[in-house]
Amino acid sequence: MISLLALVPLHALAAVWNRQAFESGKVEGALQGLGVTSDEASPEIEIIAPQMAENGAIIQIEVISRIPGTEAISILAEKNPTPLIANFMFSNGAEPYLITRIKMAETAELKVIVKANDKYYSASRRVEVAVGGCG
């Protein structure tokens, strides 16, 4: 896989990395970097995350989007030094489901933004963190 990345031109890799969104220190800046001007709460987004995390350095979460035409799923933790944790892109009919481990600095809202058909939808879940994982 790494050898394949060597064949990709540097300017193409830069196009994939959304510096503004990932390096923003505020949720609003990250959303702006993602192109989100407004979002609508949706019950079609399911976030499976612990209510209480013993260690903020390793929190397993699952996200399922049941919104037809899901193109992207972004995960944000409002109190992290850089709130945008991940931005997953889906294409060619890929199932909009993911499972990953994240870090959270402290107790906060975990927000998921789903892009589907050029609209943005959201869901959130509060996660209590006993010991912060970002430092």
pLDDT tens per residue, range 45-103:
999 999 999 998 999 999 999 999 999 999 999 999 999 999 999 987 899 999 999 99
* pLDDT over threshold 70, residue 128: yes
Q: Residue 92: its pLDDT value, please?
A: 78
Q: What is the 3-state secondary structure (H, E, C) of the chain?
A: CHHHHCCCCHHHHHHHCCHHHHHCCCHHHHHHHHCCCCCEECCCEEEECCCEEEECCCEEEEEEECCCCEEEEEEEECCCCCCEEEEEECCCCCCCEEEEEECCCCCEEEEEEEEECCEEEEEEEEEEEEECCCC
What superfamily in CATH does domain 2-131 come from? Answer: SoxY domain (2.60.40.2470)
